[in-house]
Amino acid sequence: MNYFAGAIAFILDGANWGGENSIGSRLVDHLVYTGISVGIAVLIAVPVGLLIGHTGRGRTIIVAITGSVRAIPTLGLLLFVVLFTGLGLWPLVLVLVVLAIPPLLAGAYSGLDAIDRQTIDAARAIGMTEWQILTRVEIPLGIGLIVGGLRSAALQVVATATVAGYVGLTGLGRFLIEGLALHRYELAIVGAILVAALAIVVDLVLVGVQRLVVPRGVPRGTSRPRARGGRPSGPSGAPAPVTEG
């Protein structure tokens, strides 16, 4: 309890928020690592996920690959990359991008794959091109799960970016590393509290984004699984339960 009280006192002390190696500077660094990594992962994973969701091709392979990537130990991968590239920002970013791609990819293709096939057929019947179907029908209807994948990826990266301290960088993880190394366990608790609080704030922001981007009348999850054979997947065409993204 004394360690926890010391951690709270450290966080509430305004002197610890300014200057080099302060809470403020390490928080900014942590957000920079997270933003760069998630941004690169979005550019890679979302277009691929949309292509798979729109065409239905390659889904089995992608599911297998993303499942395998999720099983890779992050710290082990980071140390492996560092052995070949040395310390610095980009080894960390590479590892975090690998971590962020599976949920983004899954959210993108699941969002499109869950749209009722009859909706897509109706769009084609009125003469819409494949690009128009993707941008005007599928993405708006699947945006809930797409942003849900972004939420999942961002939270995982925020939590895992604490390993930045192992490759000579800062971020909030430095409090954990320094606290354990110096036996100042209140510092380690400071790092844990700040990372948890940051993850909560990021999730709340993305929940707000999710509410803003989902069109009115469209659930923030999706309607029901899309049947590739052209028939509704639910009995008597009844929608399946909606799951929040």
The tens digit of pLDDT for each residue in 191-223 reads 999 999 999 999 999 999 988 888 776 665 544
pTM of the model: 0.82
pLDDT of 242:
41
Is 223 in contact with 238 (CB distance < 8 Å)?
Answer: no
* CB-based contacts of 184, cutoff 8 Å, min separation 6: 178
Instruction: Classify domain 22-227 at the CATH class level.
Output: mainly alpha
* CB-based contacts of 158, cutoff 8 Å, min separation 6: 30, 34, 195, 198, 199, 202
The tens digit of pLDDT for each residue in 78-107 reads 878 877 777 778 888 999 999 999 999 989
The tens digit of pLDDT for each residue in 110-161 reads 889 888 889 898 998 998 989 999 999 999 999 999 999 999 999 999 999 9
pLDDT of 73:
76
Q: Is the pLDDT of residue 236 over 70?
A: no
